[in-house]
Amino acid sequence: MNPLGLPTLAAVLGRQPPSLLHHYTSSDGLIGMLKNKEIWATNIAFLNDSKEVGHAVDYAKNAIENKIHRGGLSESQIDILNAMHGRAGNAAKRYYVASFSEDGNLLSQWRAYCPPGGGYSVGIPSAQLTSMAQEQQFVLVPCVYEHNLQSQIINELVDFHLADAVNCLSVAPIPENSSDHPFWRFTQRLTQVGCVLKHGSFKEEREWRLISQPIQEPHAQLDFRSSPSRIVPFFRFKLASPSNPNLGTRENATFTIISGPTSDREITSMAMQFMIASHLPAAAFGSSDIPYRTW
């Protein structure tokens, strides 16, 4: 994610994650993570909250409208801003996202992302995630929930791409379907930045995200799964590699699995001990003590 011209976003990208980041999942999700050493990053058009990227688009359209209404712009600048307004949100949805929380034992996360009767919070060393993100052209970034900060990021984005369009279009005509066209660059960047901005009501989650660069089909790590209503594209994000093999322990942080509220903590603990010994002996294991029942 390129922060060029966006100092507020650059400051966000410069934040250091906690030593562990936690991904909430089902038994099947945990088994796949341990056996295959991968996590599934979902295409942004298929996230649970369908309004996520639309949240940034709304901010961008509002920023453009306010900029036009304030006046002091040339006719060509107004034309460019109107074109940006009309194209906001039109980028091809070729970005993929995997979500993590700073909190490994959060009731709202157990409820939202784990099946009734049992789930797991998987704490992965953030240093390992960062290294693997660099290998696979992803970035690991914290979500932004504050309204003023979101507005500042989007206003900087609109200002930068307005100037970019003025400079480019004054030189020579560029086909609109070209990746060199400034409107194409604006829509792509807005879509990716939109993956970072979340409604303030989700602030409790303290979410970090792995966010891809645009991924074109076909790709060796792209795959598809079924859901009750559709086919869902996802990216098989590798958690370890020959260059970064230390998934279990990295920079004094230990891969940790926490079992969620369950009706049989003892048998769950025994199964986890067997699985860890088989697939990731360096991992640690614990259980949630939240008094939440779904059985």
Cα 152 to Cα 84, 179, 183, 196, 217, distances in angstroms:
18, 26, 20, 13, 34
First to last CA, the chain: 43
Give the tokens for residue 140.
């690991």
pLDDT at 294: 62
Condensed to tens digits (0 to 9), the pLDDT of residues 167-193 reads 998 887 787 778 889 999 999 999 999
Record the pTM.
0.94
What DSSP state is assigned to residue 158? Answer: H
- Whether 160 maps to a domain, the answer reads yes
Q: Tell me how crowded residue 118 is: count the other CB atoms within 10 A of its CB.
A: 18
Nearest to 112 by CA among 286, 217, 260: 260
pLDDT at 50: 59
- Whether 292 maps to a domain, the answer reads no
pLDDT at 291: 80
- Whether 1 maps to a domain, the answer reads no
Contact 61, 232 (CB under 8 A): no
d(CA 9, CA 5) in angstroms, rounded, equals 9
Cα 111 to Cα 29, 50, 206, 292, distances in angstroms:
16, 19, 16, 9
- Whether 267 maps to a domain, the answer reads yes
pLDDT at 116: 79
Positions in the chain whose pLDDT score sits under 70: 49-50, 292-295
What are the backbone angles phi and psi of residue 206, rounded to the nearest 5°?
45, 60
Give the tokens for residue 190.
């807005």
Q: Name the 3-class secondary structure at 284.
A: strand
Q: Name the 3-class secondary structure at 248.
A: coil
Q: Tell me how crowded residue 11 is: count the other CB atoms within 10 A of its CB.
A: 13
Contact 55, 198 (CB under 8 A): yes
- Whether 294 maps to a domain, the answer reads no
- Whether 215 maps to a domain, the answer reads yes
| Residue numbers of the domain that contains 216 | 7-287
Q: Find all residues with CB under 8 Å of 94, minimum gap 6, and list them.
A: 43, 214, 215, 216
Counted domains in the chain: 1
Question: What is the length of the chain?
Answer: 295
- Whether 224 maps to a domain, the answer reads yes
What are the backbone angles phi and psi of residue 52, rounded to the nearest 5°?
-60, -55
Alpha helices for 114-253 (secondary structure H): 126-135, 147-169, 182-194
Nearest to 37 by CA among 280, 281, 243, 285: 280
- Whether 293 maps to a domain, the answer reads no
d(CA 288, CA 125) in angstroms, rounded, equals 19
